[in-house]
């Protein structure tokens, strides 16, 4: 039987790398540009109509056009949000969410199979991290989503990317950076850095390194606490980096890119959601070019953490507003389809292994 894992993944290659690959095959240089365009349009080898038939057959036998395939889609009846479950060549399963806004389609991507950051409120991290995704596997998720949109007769492709699925992007630094460089290339998906948000729990060295990459995406920082003591209660990474170090790396990012930083703050009942926590947060963020995104916690039953009422969200928001901190409450999409990180994948894996205990 053929082994998919031995095949060369062409999707994650730059045009230069494809050029070298085709040169080795004795093909003319222009094949790289042709194949680069086809791959990002989601066209399988056999349909790459401007390639000789023999070449198409060789590619079919030895290479993979898209390492990601869709196992299942679930569409929300409330707002058209689509939850996607994908399979990778080594049979790992990852998930994503395709959100439909008035201004376009946004895809939430995974960057790893699981996650090893261990945040207590997050379902993605419950089984740890199996491995990091390749650039091809990140691009492949977008190619799949574009295929689904086209299949629904939707004219528009994915226009915005949020790296907020499973995984910690800065724990897979080189692959994420290469993915972003390919993402914006003309002749490919051509998605500019202004249309990308990257969310991190705050790996300080890599945040600073990333500020130098000339990839000015919107940086989202998962803060979830007004001080280190509270942050350590839910986020193990807070034992490695202090909030001072994180906020200083954020200021560096703002200075280097001219872009404001978004702070993600999931309100957890009895942990970080009191008005005095809002006041402390405001004083930490004073003077920074930033925005706070309040997220009512999506309860994860495995962890016993509780969300907050609308009234608590409102009270928290008002304290920040009074102190001139720009703040919004995150809109929830796909509430009826297990939209939160890692939940669908967990349900799927559980269904596959019904005898295993949680």
Q: Which residues bind ligand SAH (CB under 6 A)?
A: 117, 119, 121-122, 164, 168, 199-201, 222, 264, 266, 295, 297-298, 300, 340-341
User: b/e for 19-49, b at 16 or more Cβ within 10 A?
Assistant: bebbeeeebeeebbebbbbbbbbbbebeebe
For residue 224 the two structure tokens come to 């979830």
The CB-of-287 to ligand SAH minimum distance in angstroms stands at 23
> Would you say 66 or 206 has its CB closer to ligand SAH?
206
For residue 138 the two structure tokens come to 């990140």
The CB-of-301 to ligand SAH minimum distance in angstroms stands at 10
Selecting among 57, 61, 95, 290, the annotated active-site residue is: 95
Burial grade of 65 (CB within 10 A; 0-12, 13-18, 19 or more):
buried
> Would you say 98 or 119 has its CB closer to ligand SAH?
119
Task: Tell me, yes or no, if 95 is annotated catalytic.
Answer: yes
**SS3 category, 4:** helix
Tell which residue, 198, 141, 194, 128, has the closest CA to residue 169.
198
Q: Cα–Cα distance between 157 and 147 in angstroms, integer? A: 9
The CB-of-191 to ligand SAH minimum distance in angstroms stands at 19
Contacts of 24 (CB under 8 A, 6+ apart): none
User: b/e for 141-161, b at 16 or more Cβ within 10 A?
Assistant: bbbbbbebbeeeeeeebbebb
Q: Cα–Cα distance between 32 and 315 in angstroms, integer? A: 56
> Would you say 193 or 201 has its CB closer to ligand SAH?
201
Residue 204 dihedral angles phi and psi, to the nearest 5°: -60, -45
The CB-of-71 to ligand SAH minimum distance in angstroms stands at 21
Task: Tell me, yes or no, if 229 is annotated catalytic.
Answer: no
The CB-of-121 to ligand SAH minimum distance in angstroms stands at 4
The CB-of-307 to ligand SAH minimum distance in angstroms stands at 8
> Would you say 117 or 273 has its CB closer to ligand SAH?
117
Strand partners, 101: 104
For residue 86 the two structure tokens come to 């994908």
Selecting among 108, 115, 129, 341, the annotated active-site residue is: 341
> Would you say 112 or 146 has its CB closer to ligand SAH?
112
> Would you say 161 or 201 has its CB closer to ligand SAH?
201
DSSP 344: H
Could you tell me what percentage of the chain is helix, strand and coil, using 3-state DSSP and rounding each to the nearest 5? Answer: 40, 20, 40
Active site residues: 95, 341
């Amino acid at each position: 039987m053929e082994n998919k894992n031995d095949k060369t993944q062409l999707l994650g290659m730059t045009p230069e790398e494809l050029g070298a690959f085709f040169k080795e095959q004795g093909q003319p240089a222009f094949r790289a540009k042709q194949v680069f365009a086809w791959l990002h349009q989601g066209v399988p080898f056999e349909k790459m109509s401007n390639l000789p038939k023999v070449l198409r057959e060789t590619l079919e036998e030895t290479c993979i056009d898209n390492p990601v395939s869709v196992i299942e889609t679930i569409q929300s009846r409330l707002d058209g949000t689509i939850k996607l479950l994908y399979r990778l060549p080594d049979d790992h399963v990852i998930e994503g969410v395709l959100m439909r806004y008035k201004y376009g389609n946004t895809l939430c991507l995974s960057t790893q199979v699981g996650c090893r950051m261990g945040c207590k409120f997050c379902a993605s991290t419950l089984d740890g991290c199996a491995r990091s995704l390749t650039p091809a596997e990140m691009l492949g998720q977008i190619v799949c989503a574009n295929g689904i949109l086209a299949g629904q007769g939707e004219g528009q492709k994915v226009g915005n990317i949020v790296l907020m699925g499973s995984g910690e992007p800065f724990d897979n630094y080189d692959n994420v950076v290469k993915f972003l460089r390919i993402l914006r290339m003309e002749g490919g998906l051509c998605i500019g850095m202004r249309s990308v948000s990257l969310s991190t729990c705050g790996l300080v060295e890599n945040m600073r390194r990333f500020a130098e990459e000339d990839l000015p995406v919107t940086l989202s920082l998962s803060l979830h606490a007004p001080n280190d003591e509270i942050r350590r209660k839910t986020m193990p990474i807070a034992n490695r980096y202090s909030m001072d170090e994180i906020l200083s790396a954020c200021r560096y990012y703002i200075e280097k890119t001219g872009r404001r930083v978004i702070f993600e703050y999931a309100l957890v009942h009895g942990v970080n959601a009191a008005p005095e926590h809002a006041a402390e947060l405001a004083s930490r963020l004073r003077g920074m070019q930033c925005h706070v995104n309040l997220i009512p916690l999506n309860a994860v039953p495995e962890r016993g953490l509780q969300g907050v009422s609308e009234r608590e969200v409102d009270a928290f928001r008002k304290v920040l507003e009074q102190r001139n901190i720009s703040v919004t409450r995150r809109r929830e999409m796909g509430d009826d389809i297990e939209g939160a990180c890692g939940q669908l994948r967990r349900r799927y894996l559980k269904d596959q292994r019904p005898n295993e205990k949680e």
